[in-house]
Structure 1
Amino acid sequence: MMTDALSFRRATEQDAKSLAEFAEKTFRDTYTQFNTPEDMDAHCAKSFSEEIQCAEIRDSRRESWLGEIDGKLIAFAQLILDKPCPPVNGKRGVEILRFYVDASQHGKGVAYRLMDELAARATALSADVLWLCVWNQNAHATAFYERCQFAKVGTTTFTLGAEVQQDWVMCRDLRRI
């Protein structure tokens, strides 16, 4: 694993353009083969523009985290702070809205390091649970989250363009770390 030079930091407004480009690239790399071009274009247009990323970076209820090696963006995640996990009542939660690692870095430990950073951040924010939604057809991602101590706690829908897809809701109890 070549993760020694890997560092993480919060995104700033100056990162909005590169984050928008990277977010769209990693999303397309992951999901293009499973969806129509029209649905992919519609989703990317409403999710990954520079303006949208800048607004999300400015939003005090969100945090965007970047993983870099020698200044090159290779991973990112976006958190929504103080958001309860719907199936787990009465717990203070932090949601992982987006979690992507460049394909060139798969298998090198980057995703685990990023997840550790997010769990530590959520714990520092006094969250009881860290949670996310993942497409139920993405067995690879679901297995990764399970290895990171997430458990399936429910289902929800995700609209990608005109298609409504089924997602797992997965939750990690932070009080055990």
Structure 2
Amino acid sequence: TATANGLTQTPRVFLVPAGADVLRVPTVEIGEPREWLINDQVIPVPFPLNSLSLMGNRDWLPSLDNFGGQSDFGRPRRFGDFRAYHDGGSFNQNEVVSDNRLIGRSVWNTRWLLIIPGSNLVSNPDQGLDRFIYGSGAPGEGIKDILIFFQTYAYTSGKATE
């Protein structure tokens, strides 16, 4: 279905952590956060891991000996897209997207990048972005706000909490 200005109500978008992950850790001053810059890279498993295969191939080098010689080692991992929804004014549990792609990453990131491809809004990408940002031309018809819902977890004293 489409909105009043012809845009799809459920475009596919990308949400990418682009800054530093911020966490509190017990090894520093209480309450003092630490930041990590994370490079999410491809590090392939060389072969089915068991003690016999590891002992038999001690010369394996990930930068040289993986993917049949076509090394993707160190290449940034790709982020998948997900369906975004038009906010009808009330929370709808059926519209929640569950994905484990960011497990282990901190939602407290110093910078998030939301990518909304214009071609996912209408067939003409430039027209799609113009309509999304400005509406059909009248003041106030374009995008006003973007709401992002995170369902997070944390470990406190060894127990997972939501």
Q: TM-score range by the shorter chain?
A: under 0.3
TM-score in terms of structure 2 length: 0.24
TM-score in terms of structure 1 length: 0.23
Which entry has the higher C-alpha Rg, 1 or 2? Answer: 2
Bigger RCO (CA 8 Å, 6+ sep): 2
- Higher strand residue share: 1
